[in-house]
């Protein structure tokens, strides 16, 4: 008898008053995962008084956990190798009699799901704040059951950008040369106000209806994949929003850190590595709340830890993702982050993930990367981290006077020279700015020549480059460094815009030049193995000149950055070790080729990329 007919008969013969619990999380799962264990959270009034029962080939119920709140039940299952995709009932008995039934589904995984290839140094990542990128569906700007309403004129308000707006402009991103897409969190943020950014989750399994639906997110992933663009999810393990659905009925007394009397963290992240740190500092950093509206989750609670790990796997599997960006990486319990990263890499060994540790000290950032041998014994499985030290060095090197001692381009050289601290520096994500800091063009005082130099360095140095939306059209935040202004509307994302980054209409001459310049660089980078995966060799910066090469056995790229106002001639004798064996240098941006028997001239305040042949 077909399984769905058997299930229908079973349900018809079962005297239940309620077929579906208020919440079942995760709502479904998959067969064939490497770790067969599954924890199902049931939230329903007085569900803790019941005894679950199920019978499905290959599925075994191993444990039932009841907690302080009678409205929760945690069911541990083992999905054995013999389990097949399908649905089955979980009956809940009260006093030996059926009280209600939940129908659970096990799905088949996509082909080669476990071996999915994550983003690599061959990719260029594009960061989007969805509420401010493009409004593809004005009908979902507001949702009746969600508090924060759209208002494009208010401060820290929702503007209406959504998933459909991103889908509508995937062709633009593909044409620009973008190959990976990091989107700020899209899950529900049902907060009273200021929720557009997505970092105060109120439902970990639901896309915020003002962005679209879970199905829309899956559509985005599929549409991006068809264009050779990998999708990266933005996750938060450290906290949720104060309006999260469980806040009115917390399962246990330790579901949150500082649950009874919360304190705010003092952000002393160095206390994790500090051999002299006090217990007070370590506890307050890890257990203090980020802000009062973001309750700090206690990942030391094993039920919550499993919940968070499963939620991550659920999104990767459901939406066919290629990467994860982890918010506030050093704030959750560090041992949990080891557990989380290890489990993800076990399930998806080729997936890539990047953590946010906003420190300018390479030693602090390196502590968190997989393979690092830390003196305190801490082990991480996180493949990559954001390179905040190099971002800071880039801005300072461009803004400072190179004629002064130890200032200017020398800071790029000095920062990259500390790569010995990292286990895999090539897997760091490099960037000129992001959604939490002033726009790069603002940081360098809207100097177009410096912007071009910055883009050239970003796209030719080691690492995985990331661009913030609107960088290609010189978006700025001249009035303030408030997040609301930094995350301005992408030109062309709303019908009333007079200029469009997507079509070029209404852009200034300089914006048009910037977009064309970056497009040419991005598209060239897609074809050059040396800047994607090649080794790096650089020369100590001096006299406003910084020279480095990226090279493989078959390709070599020479990059020269000249900060001084006057044209300089490259001293070929000094750089002979990288020029030897090559006879010509082709300027990537102009296409001009010249013999290396003649001096290479570099215009003042510029950077030049040469392909050596």
Q: Are 449 and 419 in contact (CB under 8 A)?
A: no
The dihedral of CA 530, 532, 534, 537: what is its sign? Answer: positive
The reported pLDDT for the residue numbered 21 is: 58
Query: For 297, which DSSP code?
Result: B
Q: Are 76 and 59 in contact (CB under 8 A)?
A: no
Per-residue pLDDT of 403-457, as tens digits, reads 999 999 999 999 999 999 999 999 999 999 999 999 999 999 999 999 999 999 9
Pairwise CA distance, residues 553 & 277, whole Å: 47
Kindly state the average pLDDT of the residues 15-39.
82
The reported pLDDT for the residue numbered 585 is: 97
Is 543 known to be catalytic? no
Is 249 known to be catalytic? no
Tell me which of 162, 296, 327, 402 is the catalytic residue.
327
Tell me which of 234, 356, 402, 611 is the catalytic residue.
356
Nearest CA among 109, 120, 116 for reference residue 85 = 109
Sequence-distant (6+) residues with CB within 8 A of 604 are 562, 564, 565, 566, 567, 568
Looking at the predicted structure, is the pLDDT value of residue 17 above 60?
Answer: no
pLDDT category at 64 given cuts 50, 70, 90 is very high
Looking at the predicted structure, is the pLDDT value of residue 3 above 70?
Answer: no
> Quick count: other Cβ atoms within 10 Å of Cβ 96?
6
Per-residue pLDDT of 456-475, as tens digits, reads 999 999 999 999 999 999 99
Instruction: Give kind and range of the element (H or E) at residue 51.
Output: strand 51-54
Sequence-distant (6+) residues with CB within 8 A of 144 are none
Looking at the predicted structure, is the pLDDT value of residue 19 above 60?
Answer: no
Q: Are 190 and 202 in contact (CB under 8 A)?
A: yes
**CA 579 to mean position of chain CA atoms:** 38
Kindly state the average pLDDT of the residues 81-102.
96
Looking at the predicted structure, is the pLDDT value of residue 516 above 60?
Answer: yes
Q: Are 182 and 323 in contact (CB under 8 A)?
A: yes
Beta bridge mates, 369: 382
- % of the chain residues with pLDDT over 90: 95
Could you give the domains of the chain? 3-109 (2.60.40.10), 123-246+300-387+425-530 (3.20.20.80), 533-612 (2.60.40.1180)
Per-residue pLDDT of 125-184, as tens digits, reads 999 999 999 999 999 999 999 999 999 998 999 999 999 999 999 999 999 999 999 999
The reported pLDDT for the residue numbered 573 is: 85
Longest dimension (CA), the chain: 92
Alpha-carbon distance values, 51 to 8, 43, 45, 113, 308 (Å): 22, 14, 14, 35, 25
């Amino acid at each position: 008898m077909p399984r769905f007919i058997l299930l229908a008969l079973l349900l018809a013969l079962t005297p239940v008053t309620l077929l579906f619990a208020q919440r079942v999380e995760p709502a479904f799962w998959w067969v064939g995962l490497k770790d067969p264990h599954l924890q199902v959270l049931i939230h329903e009034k007085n569900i803790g008084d019941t005894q679950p029962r199920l019978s499905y080939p290959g599925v075994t119920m191993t444990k039932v956990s009841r907690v302080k709140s009678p409205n929760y039940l945690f069911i541990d299952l083992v999905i054995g190798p013999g389990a097949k995709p399908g649905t089955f009932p979980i009956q809940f008995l009260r006093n030996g009699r059926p009280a209600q039934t939940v129908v659970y589904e096990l799905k088949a995984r996509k082909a080669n799901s476990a071996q999915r290839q994550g983003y690599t140094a061959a990719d260029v990542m594009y960061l989007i704040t969805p509420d401010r990128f493009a409004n593809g569906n004005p009908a979902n700007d507001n949702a009746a059951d969600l508090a924060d309403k759209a208002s494009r004129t208010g401060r820290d308000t929702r503007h209406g950008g959504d998933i459909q707006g991103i889908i509508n402009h995937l062709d633009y991103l593909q044409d620009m040369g973008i190959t990976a897409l990091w989107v700020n969190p899209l899950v529900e943020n049902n907060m009273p106000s200021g929720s557009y950014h997505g970092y105060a989750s109120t439902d970990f399994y639901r896309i915020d209806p003002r962005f679209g639906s879970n199905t829309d997110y899956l559509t985005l992933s599929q549409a991006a994949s068809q264009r050779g663009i990998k999708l990266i999810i933005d996750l938060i393990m450290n906290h949720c929003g104060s309006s999260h659905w469980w806040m009115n009925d917390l399962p246990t007394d330790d579901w949150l850190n500082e649950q009874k009397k919360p304190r705010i963290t003092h952000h002393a992240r160095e206390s994790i590595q500090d051999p002299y740190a006090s217990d007070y500092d370590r506890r307050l950093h890890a257990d203090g709340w980020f802000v009062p509206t973001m309750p700090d989750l206690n990942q030391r609670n094993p039920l919550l830890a499993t919940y968070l790990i499963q939620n991550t796997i659920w999104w990767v599997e459901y939406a066919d993702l290629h990467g994860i960006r982890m918010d506030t990486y050093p704030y959750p319990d560090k041992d949990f982050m080891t557990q989380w990263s290890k489990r993800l890499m076990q399930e998806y060994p080729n997936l890539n993930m990047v953590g946010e540790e906003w420190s300018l000290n390479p030693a602090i950032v390196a502590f968190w990367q997989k393979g690092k041998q830390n003196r305190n014994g801490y082990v991480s499985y996180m493949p990559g981290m954001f390179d905040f030290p190099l971002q800071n060095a880039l801005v300072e090197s461009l803004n400072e006077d190179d004629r002064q001692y130890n200032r200017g381009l020398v800071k790029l050289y000095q920062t990259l020279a500390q790569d010995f601290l990292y286990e895999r520096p090539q897997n760091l994500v490099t960037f000129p700015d992001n959604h939490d800091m002033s726009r790069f063009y603002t940081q360098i005082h809207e100097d177009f020549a410096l912007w071009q130099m910055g883009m050239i360095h970003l796209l030719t140095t080691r690492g995985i480059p990331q661009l913030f939306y609107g960088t290609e059209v010189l978006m700025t935040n001249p009035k303030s460094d408030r997040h609301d202004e930094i995350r301005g509307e992408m030109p062309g994302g709303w019908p009333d815009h007079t200029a469009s980054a997507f079509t070029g209409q209404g852009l200034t001459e300089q914006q048009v030049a910037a977009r064309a310049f970056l497009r040419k660089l991005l598209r060239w980078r897609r074809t050059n193995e040396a800047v994607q995966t090649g080794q790096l060799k650089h020369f100590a910066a001096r006299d406003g000149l910084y020279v480095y090469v990226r090279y493989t056995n078959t390709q070599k790229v020479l990059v020269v950055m000249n900060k001084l106002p006057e044209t300089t001639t490259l001293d070929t004798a000094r750089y002979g070790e990288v020029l030897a064996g090559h006879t010509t240098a082709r300027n990537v941006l102009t296409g001009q080729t010249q013999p290396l028997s003649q001096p290479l001239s570099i215009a003042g305040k510029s950077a030049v990329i040469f392909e050596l042949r």
